[in-house]
Structure 1
Amino acid sequence: MSCHPFRLTVLALFAVLITAVPALAETPAWRVGMTPAFLHDQHVVLDDWRAYLERRLGRKIEFVQRDSYLETMDLIRLGKLDFAWICDYPYVHLGNHVRLLAVPVNQGKPLYRSYLIVSARDPHTQSLVQLRGKVFAYSDPYSNTGYLVPRYQLHQVGEEPERFFSRTFFTWSHRKAIEAVASGVAQGAAVDSFVWDTLAKIKPELTARTRIVSRSPEYGFPPFVAHHSVPEGDFKAMQGALLRMEQDPEGILLLQRLNLDGFTPGDPAVYNVITEMMNALGER
């Protein structure tokens, strides 16, 4: 008994399809780490961004969120992440474990600052040194703007950061540092300008309870990095998807929701100042 030629063709095509689908499904997702540089409560934005990247790349994307910079750094060192959006301080710490992939552009520059903040009810404090003996909130021990910068500033004026405040504590995110100052739990904090400025747009009732005392010099914006083992083709694909976001309507809308202008390839030399501050504090 023989099959009709048409049936044979259909069966052959079906066989191809059922063998091809599992192969596609088994393609490993690219795991992208997200540290507290990203506001963790923006889940809808994160889901939409993931879906956008999947459509552009034809590849599954998994965002991996952690509550501290060190957790994300450890995942990178262990090769558990393909890409990550990290702080500039961890970028320098990680050294050859990562390659600079892309740098976000905010307010026209791939740069940001550290904001020294106090309570809006404190009209008197005008500088960091006036917070001597006060309670100070640090965001994370691997944060540039929330830990390295204020300690470096104290070192530059001859003060010992470990003895300067009556008490310090870590909040493990810039948002929580802002909340600590707003609620009076801390009398001062140093926070990421991008986080404060973004919250000023989406949670103005929170930032209104704080006051910016001073703004630091500009530093290289927290970068996107790739693990050193990521193949060049994958590196270029992800980099291209980020760089092209500002060129299509859907990407532009996502950037607006992220409070970003776009992405640039970046220059590793911009982050050399982090190494200089670390050296000054004996951390290298």
Structure 2
Amino acid sequence: MFTYLRHGLAAVLISAAVMSPVLAQDWREQYPELTIGISSGENETDAIARNEPYAAYLSEALGVPVKIVRGTDYAAIVEAMRSEHVHIASVGPAAYALARKIMGEDVAPVAVTLDNEGNLGYYSVIAVRADSPYQSLEDIKGKSFAFADPNSTSGYAVPSYYLATELDTSADEYFSEVAFSGGHEQSVMALVNGTFEAVATHWRNEEAGNIQTMESKGLIEEGSTRIIWTSPVIPNTPVMILTTLPQELQDEFKAALLAFPTADPEGFAAYTRGTSSGYVEATHEDYLDVVAITEFNAAERRRTAN
């Protein structure tokens, strides 16, 4: 289920000038290693490589080895947090809503990234092939369509909510064929290859998003897709943590995370692909709209199943 990445065999102790040895010793004895969960829309090799600077920085800053765990999907990481095999995670707003539903206040957001323009959000988009005749949602009615993952915010929750509330329909009713591709890259690859006529994915701005990243990596040709629908803004993915962890650990992780862009600018740039200017603190209240959307979608699924 998971791919593991380890950094360092021994702990690197934080300077005694930074914090008291007593506090430093307490939580590190209980947690001699920390695990961070990810479930990226990109392929496994690229996801692991991109997270290496993140794990290396935190290993040094916190004074214990940090292990990156990549789940097969968002739900796998949430389940790993519930069983305390993962302590910290970044898996999307809808997956955070799922975690909160399952674990309640035992999980909470710590911080969220800003893009290079200082924005706190991104978008769900529906894309078609550039050479297709489709220009609007009305044009793809009755066509084949792919979501990314059932716990993806931009790849499922938001477009499903829009179909239900704005068009008074569902994906199953609106499209001739509906499937989950398994991830954002898989959706766009299937679109370009002709498996589907439209797909949902994520987009931040003209320079950043799933499609732009895939173009820059040579996975698809530049200009091979076209966006025909863009959602309202979605709050960025939160970094969430188990609140059952020692408070000193939580506080030190939060401080290290917020300092990442300035303490290790090269590592931060590699981790974010240069698309983020830093972090700001986040709270549960920032994600109330996403929680409401996921609850609405769940109620709709129950209603249509009966």
Report the TM range for the smaller structure's normalisation: 0.7 to 0.9
Find the counterpart in structure 1 of residue 49 from structure 2: 44
CA apart distance, 1:254: 3.1
Find the counterpart in structure 1 of residue 276 from structure 2: 260
Larger relative helix fraction:
1
Structure 1: gaps of 5 or more residues = 1-23
Counterpart CA distance in 2 for 1:253 and 1:151 is: 33
> In the alignment, residue 159 of structure 1 is paired with which amino acid?
T
| Mean Cα deviation higher: 272-281 or 262-271 | 272-281
Tell me if 1:231 matches 2:235: no
* Equivalent pair of 1:32/1:64 in contact (CA under 8 Å): yes
- The two structures, once aligned, show a CA RMSD in angstroms of 2.3
- Assess, with a 3 A threshold, how the Cα gap between structure 1 residues 39 and 141 changes in structure 2: closer, same or farther: same
State the identity %: 23
Determine which of 35, 38, 43 is the counterpart of 1:34: 38
> In the alignment, residue 256 of structure 2 is paired with which amino acid?
A
Equivalent residue pairs, number:
260
* Equivalent pair of 2:114/2:280 in contact (CA under 8 Å): yes
CA apart distance, 1:117: 0.4
Find the counterpart in structure 2 of residue 5 from structure 1: none
Find the counterpart in structure 2 of residue 66 from structure 1: 71
| Mean Cα deviation higher: 254-263 or 45-54 | 254-263
Counterpart CA distance in 2 for 1:210 and 1:192 is: 13
Find the counterpart in structure 1 of residue 15 from structure 2: none
* Equivalent pair of 1:140/1:171 in contact (CA under 8 Å): yes
Find the counterpart in structure 2 of residue 146 from structure 1: 155
Counterpart CA distance in 1 for 2:64 and 2:221 is: 38
> In the alignment, residue 90 of structure 1 is paired with which amino acid?
A
* Equivalent pair of 1:255/1:261 in contact (CA under 8 Å): no
Tell me if 1:162 matches 2:184: no
* Equivalent pair of 2:39/2:91 in contact (CA under 8 Å): yes
- Assess, with a 3 A threshold, how the Cα gap between structure 1 residues 256 and 143 changes in structure 2: closer, same or farther: closer
Q: Helix, strand or coil for the counterpart of 2:128?
A: strand
Tell me if 1:182 matches 2:192: yes
CA apart distance, 1:38: 5.8
* Equivalent pair of 2:184/2:210 in contact (CA under 8 Å): yes
CA apart distance, 1:263: 1.5
CA apart distance, 1:204: 7.0
Find the counterpart in structure 1 of residue 61 from structure 2: 56
* Equivalent pair of 1:137/1:170 in contact (CA under 8 Å): yes
Counterpart CA distance in 1 for 2:272 and 2:147 is: 28
TM-score (norm 1): 0.83
Tell me if 1:244 matches 2:259: yes
Find the counterpart in structure 1 of residue 137 from structure 2: 128
